[in-house]
Amino acid sequence: MATVDMLLNVAMDFRNGFVRLCYSSQMESMKEEYLKTVRAKLEEMSKYLGDKPWFAGNEITFPDFHFYEMFDQHREFHPQLFDGLDNLKAYMDRFEALPVPFGLIRFGVAPDHPEVKNVINQFTTLALTDRCRFIGNINIGTDININQLRSYYNGVVLAYGAEEDKTMGIKGEDSYGVFSARSFVSWYNGLPGYENLNLNLSSGDTAVIIGQGNVALDIARILLTPLDTLKETDICSHAVDALSFSKIKKVIMVGRRGPLQVAFTIKELREMTKLPQCKTMIKHKDMLPYKDIISELPRPRKRLTELMLKTSSDGRDISNDDNVLELLFCRSPMEIIARNEITKGIKLEINELIEDANGGNTTAVGSGEYETIDCSMVLRSIGYKSRNIDPEIPFDEKLGIINNSKGRVVNNGTTINGLYCSGWVKRGPTGVILTTMNDAFETAGSIIEDNKNGMLPSSNTARDILNDIKGFEPVLFEDWLKIDEEEKRRGELVGKPREKIVSVLEMLQIIKNNKN
């Protein structure tokens, strides 16, 4: 008990120091010295934590929640503070391991696309059979390593996606007002740890999105959709509250190349063109060069380009009352224009498009001409990358994928029997849901073939993984159903399909309450 009290005092002193800095009128001049001091404190905490899962030992205690909250805030404040402190990073990962299923469907699909989320019903049917077992709230690589996990099963499939962002690598990118698409999507979809994302929605009327894919269109739609429409979806209440103060009326989606290279699909663009109180602006002069070649394009690209041409205009039909989505082509981000580290605009280089000799790939080449757009927010939607969660996994750091052949994990040319991968961590963060489905079918086919040929290793079926792994609180599917029930109950009270719970601690408390 004395140890817990001591840790609580340390955590509260840590918090009070940060609060004093944040509320000081001299914050900017004090920041550099504070970063030096707090780094030294973090190094001491790292040394004290050592290889323990929690600060007081093998069991989580009350101070851990204070430590995690302060670590998370400092990670947002200055991410480099944790460089080299791997055990503190693992400590935060341990807190953030999710106790709920459905991954991308729950935390990635836009709240106004409920029809896509209906696949949850099929997953639930499968999860309730005795052939399937869900274990949540466990972090692979820290709570249990890959080799341990493999000892319990004949086969292990790594399908953990891509949870890190690609950056633009330009001056001013760390300014306040620059956010990743992943963070923004996680914020409105209720991924634990993102509910307090400090977005500056009320400091300007223009947001710029770098990227022209479906995720970029999702973000634009959330920013420009009438609030009363969003309130009827499962978007999180903290997002609705923040969006109610939003002054964003114009979103500009910027792409490096031209109209024929956009990555979004026709469904998402058509949906945007029908958004109430919003106009989609594509300059007519940008589409005219492609008018005569549309008939020669492959069918999906042909239909998309036809819609873009039909949507294009000179902008004279846009009134001051309209929200606006503008598509801007052949531009590359060069610099975030900031004042006092707060985003005020973005500098873009105008590109020229160069086709290779065979008429295949089209490359964007800078022209040396520049322009600046005034904006208060920049969202980069230029892709994701996977990370290696265990040193035993043969991972290609450059490509950001697990080395594999048809889903079979390969190390130095040798197949690791019984270890597989699927999805973005297998082939990279590209494609749509159908692409990922076909990818999964290929991996499943490899598993079936290996099983038929006797290539799967044996497992110790006499042992139960839940009895052997210590230091975490596993969440099973029947536990998730209690969380699901509570979310739907809260949603019904406010006329929504559900109100997502964004606190892992609250999720675990609901499970405990239902077991008592």
Angle formed at CA 335 by CA 332 and CA 339, multiple of 5 degrees: 145
Q: Is 214 annotated as a binding residue?
A: yes
- Nearest residue to 382 (alpha-carbon basis) of 332, 453, 341: 332
According to the annotation, is 212 in a ligand binding site?
Answer: yes
Token pair for residue 256? 């490096």
- Secondary structure letter of residue 457 according to DSSP: P
Neighbours of 24 (CB within 10 A): 13
88 has binding-site annotation:
no
Q: Any binding-site annotation on 433?
A: yes
Residue 241 · residue 502 · CB < 8 Å:
no
Distance CA 441, CA 313 (A): 43
The reply to whether 96 sits in an annotated binding site is yes
Distance CA 190, CA 182 (A): 12
Closest to 251 measured CA to CA, from 279, 283, 286: 279
Say whether 504 counts as a known binding-site residue: no
Using CA atoms, how far apart are residues 437 and 422, in angstroms rounded to an integer? Answer: 9
Q: Is 432 annotated as a binding residue?
A: yes
252 annotated as belonging to a binding site for a ligand: no
Burial class (CB in 10 A: 0-12, 13-18, 19+), 297: middle
Find residue 354's DSSP bridge partners. Answer: 363
CA 350 from centre of chain: 29
| Distance (Å, whole) CA 447 – CA 408 | 8
209 is in an annotated binding site: no
Q: Shortest CA distance to 12 belongs to which of 65, 61, 58?
A: 65
Structure tokens at 43: 């190094």
Residue 256 marked as a ligand binder? yes
Question: In this structure, how many other beta carbons lie within 10 angstroms of the beta carbon of residue 253?
Answer: 26
CA distance 477 to 127: 7
Q: Does the annotation flag 431 for ligand binding?
A: yes
Does 268 count as an annotated binding residue?
A: yes
Q: Is 221 annotated as a binding residue?
A: no
Q: Do 174 and 180 meet the contact criterion of CB atoms below 8 Å apart? A: no
Binding positions for FAD: 96, 104, 140, 424, 431-433
Binding positions: 96, 104, 140, 212-215, 256-257, 268, 424, 431-433
Binding positions for NADP(+): 212-215, 256-257, 268, 431
